[in-house]
A and B are shown apart, each in its own frame.
Chain A
Amino acid sequence: MAIVDTRDEPAGASAGAGTRARRPHRTGRAPSEPRPYVGWLFVAPNLLGVLAFTFIPLISVVLLSFTQWNLVSGFAGIEFVALDNFLAVFQDPTFWRSLVITIVYAGVAVPLTLVVGLALALALNRDIPARGLLRAAFFVPYIVNIVAIGMTWQMLLDPEAGLVNQALGAFGAEDLPQWFASSNWALPALILVTIWSQAGYANLIYLSALQDAPTQLYEAARIDGAGRWASFRAITWPSLLPTTVFLLVTLFVGISQTFGMIALITNGGPGDSTTTLSFYMYQTSFQFYRFGYASAVGLVTFIGIFVIMLLMWRAQRGRALHD
């Protein structure tokens, strides 16, 4: 029912704001102050939608996490189990294993994406023929849908016929990696594709940060006889630090939620070698339909990610104060 309300609301709300605000009035209020309800009318369309599709689902997820429920049993089948789900989460070997996989995945993919993005940004922040087009080229993988990317890489990384292994073979490599077909190589393959698709984003953000680099300092550093590496470390890197932390946080949040590629290519496997937390959450919800348990897994995961994010911001603030 909430849905119907929100769909009707936007038109009604703005029309109301129009007629009522036009009325001349002004008693006991500064002439430049709008009536208080006007603000509410402006917020209402968005707020009602956010209430229906974000706030209420969020509260529901918290409530569900204390229950045992699958959709089949209907609402009558909801059973309150207190903290059982959370206790079960912490005793669930698959949960711990997917936690480790997520940490390895994000822990490798995020820093490498940062490094590749920064290297590209430094390399592109110079006078190069058709620079704009070149910058666009590196960004393309980021804006292409994950299904097209996933299917392409799945075939490129085919152990026998894939282009990558053919190229490696042509260079004389032996014991070719089995990529998505092997439980040892599936995660590295996932990391590789992730870096390829995300580096353009890091590159773009770094490039815009480099525009603000303190140019006059380079001159001073050169006069002082500082080498390239020294001036990079003394000038460029510190000026990029806030950007780096920002990217670290956003990439971490984004990459730790990677889902499409896993669902599409590996379905969490081979074995459970690419079952990250977000995929495990999906599996428990929509493959096993354990809604209560899935909610608990989701909450624990989200809180974990949130704490890591806070720690990263803290670390950056601490460092900013030192400078």
Chain B
Amino acid sequence: MTDTTTADPGGQAARGGAHPGTRAGAQAGAGPGPGTGMAARQALRRRRDRVRRWSWGIPMWLLALLFLLPFAWMISTSLKPDVEAFRIPMQWIPDEPRWENYTEVLFGESSILIPFGSSVFVATLRVLGELTTATLAGYAFAKLRFPGRGKVFIAYLATSLIPAQLLLVPRFVYFEKLSLYDTLWALILPGMFTVLGTFLMRQYFVSQPDEFAEAARLDGANELQIFFRIYLPNALSMISALAILTFVWSWNDYETPLVFLSTPENYTLPMGLTSFTDENGAMAAGLSMAASVISIVPILLVFLIFQRRFVRAMTESALK
């Protein structure tokens, strides 16, 4: 099944690539197209392109809708009583949408408002801490010479590949001993000082010219002034990219809270989502889905508002 679906778009796109006209249209937003050819031919081509746009666009939109179908199901189920969730045949739009699922999830017995607040708290502190420590350290690794810089950086490089999973046991032991186990600090603290964020910031600052700093030093500026007034303002797009990535990681993290949190009052959102069960201990479909929808909204908003930046963050961290 995968073979047929993939072979076709591959061929289609290659065809698109073979026709400069289509490509020019496709890239109109991104860069200058070739823009040659006579007026009559252009008109003809334009009409042909329009047909092609839609004949290609509609199937792609249908495919996207199919891709997003689980979310449609999630929303649909979030508005149903549990008994209706698995009724055959499936009813996409419930006759009587059960909004009570949402009020129950928000204000009921195991309200997700507290996990929601915990997630906001954890994500905010992680983002603030990460931005502060990673920009300072990344800048130093890129722009300040100091004895031992190379060695420390190699140590960073070596640890950058270590999966957090490997460190769960010792962290668990430390947190236990330091009474941080089962507190939100067990999630926040490791997330404030990361090797990866430092890397991203270092890569960014390396690409910036040294001359600014040299000139400013000759003018008598100190290192903090140089950092805060010259380099930091230019780095805002990269910093916001790192902020977005950190927020998403933090918001969606499930493994760390699963290991480090034990009392439901301390749960962050992903853990909180699992607490909706019926009297038999089975998952309560309607409530779980309503809670899931609520958990997705913030991340979706961040994504839609900062989409450009987000995409840049993803690709830039990819090409680091």
Contact among A38, A47, A144, A221 with B18 in the assembled complex (CB-CB below 8 Å): A221
Return the CB mask of B286-309 against A: 1 if under 8 Å, else 0: 001100110110011001100100
Pick the residue among B23, B71, B73, B307 that contacts A136 (CB under 8 A).
B307
Asked whether A236 is an interface residue with its Cβ less than 8 Å from the other chain, the reply is yes
Q: In the complex, are the beta carbons of B299 and A143 less than 8 A apart?
A: yes
Residue contacts A-B, CB under 8 angstroms, 10 given: A7-B189, A14-B136, A34-B144, A39-B140, A42-B136, A43-B140, A138-B64, A152-B71, A205-B318, A228-B14
Chain B residue numbers with a CB within 8 Å of A38 are 144, 146, 223
A222 proximal to B (CB < 8 A): yes
Q: Is A147's CB within 8 Å of the partner chain B?
A: yes
> B103 at the A/B interface (Cβ < 8 Å)?
no
A205 pairs with B314, CB closer than 8 A: yes
- Bound Cα distance A282, B260 (Å): 12
In the complex, are the beta carbons of A147 and B270 less than 8 A apart? Answer: yes
Enumerate chain A interface residues (CB-CB to B < 8 A): 1-3, 6-7, 10, 14, 17-18, 21-22, 24, 31-34, 36-40, 42-43, 45-50, 52-58, 60-61, 64, 71, 112, 115-116, 118-120, 122-130, 132, 134, 136-141, 143-149, 151-156, 158, 160-163, 166, 196, 201, 204-205, 208, 211, 213, 215, 218-219, 221-222, 226-229, 231-232, 235-236, 246, 250, 253, 257, 259-260, 263-264, 278, 281-282, 285-286, 291, 294-295, 298-299, 301-302, 305-306, 309
B26 contacts A125, CB within 8 Å? yes
By the criterion CB–CB under 8 Å, are B193 and A45 in contact?
yes
Give chain B residues whose Cβ lies under 8 Å from the Cβ of A52. 189, 193
Q: Select one of A32, A156, A160, A208 contacting B70, CB under 8 A.
A: A156
- In the complex the two chains form, what is the Cα distance from A7 to B318 in whole Å? 30
| Whole-angstrom CA separation of A99 from B311 in the bound complex | 34
Q: Does B239 contact A (CB under 8 A)?
A: no
Task: Provide the residues of chain B in CB contact with A163, threshold 8 Å.
Answer: 73, 90
In the complex, which of the residues B86, B167, B193 contacts A46, with contact meaning CB atoms closer than 8 Å?
B193
Q: In this assembly, does B127 line the interface, its C-beta being within 8 Å of a C-beta of chain A? A: no
Please judge, given known A-B contacts A43-B140, A152-B70, whether A128 and B53 are in contact too, CB under 8 Å: yes
10 closest A-B pairs by beta carbon, nearest first, are A49-B193, A39-B146, A122-B13, A161-B86, A232-B14, A42-B140, A46-B137, A148-B292, A228-B14, A39-B144
The minimal Cβ–Cβ distance linking A218 to chain B, given in whole angstroms, is 5
Cross-chain contact A43 with B137 (CB below 8 angstroms): yes
Closest chain B residue to A136 by CB distance? B307
Contacts of A39 in B (CB 8 A): 140, 144-146, 149
Q: A116-B2, A166-B88, A259-B255 are in contact. Are A46 and B274 (CB under 8 A)?
A: no
Provide the residues of chain A in CB contact with B10, threshold 8 Å: 118-119, 122, 232
Residue of A nearest to B30 (CB): A211
CA–CA, A125 and B60, complex, Å: 11
- Chain A residue nearest to B318 (CB atoms) is A205
Which residues of chain A are near B259, meaning CB under 8 Å? 282, 286
| A45-B136 in contact (CB<8A) | yes
Residues 1-27 of B at the A interface (beta carbon under 8 Å): 2, 5-6, 9-20, 22-23, 25-27
List chain B residues, Cβ under 8 A from A309.
161
A127–B23 Cα distance when bound, in Å, is 8
Q: B169 and A298: CB pair below 8 A?
A: yes
- 9 more A-B residue pairs beyond the given contacts A50-B198, A57-B170, A298-B166, with a C-beta to C-beta distance below 8 A: A3-B174, A54-B167, A54-B195, A119-B9, A127-B25, A128-B60, A140-B300, A148-B74, A148-B293
Find chain B residues with CB under 8 A from A143 CB.
248, 252, 299-300, 303
Chain A residue, CB-CB nearest to B21: A127
The complex places the Cα of A228 from the Cα of B134 at a distance, in Å, of 46
- Report Cα–Cα, A227/B16, bound state, in Å: 11
Is the beta-carbon distance between A60 and B170 smaller than 8 angstroms?
Answer: yes
Interface string of B162-201 (1 = CB under 8 A from A): 1101111111111010101000000001101111001000
Complex: how many Å from CA A298 to CA B214?
47
Complex-state Cα separation, A294 to B132, whole angstroms = 34
Contact A36 to B145, CB < 8 A, known contacts A57-B167, A134-B61: yes
* Pairwise interchain contact A32-B285, C-beta atoms closer than 8 A: no
Tell me whether B156 is interfacial, beta carbon within 8 Å. yes
* B144 and A127 contact, CB distance less than 8 A: no
Distance between Cα atoms of A312 and B255 in the complex (Å): 28
Residues of B within 8 A of A14 (CB): 136, 224
Chain B residues near A211: list those with CB within 8 A.
30
Contact of A21 among B137, B174, B222, B303 (CB under 8 A): B222
Nearest-CB distance from A55 to chain B (Å)?
7
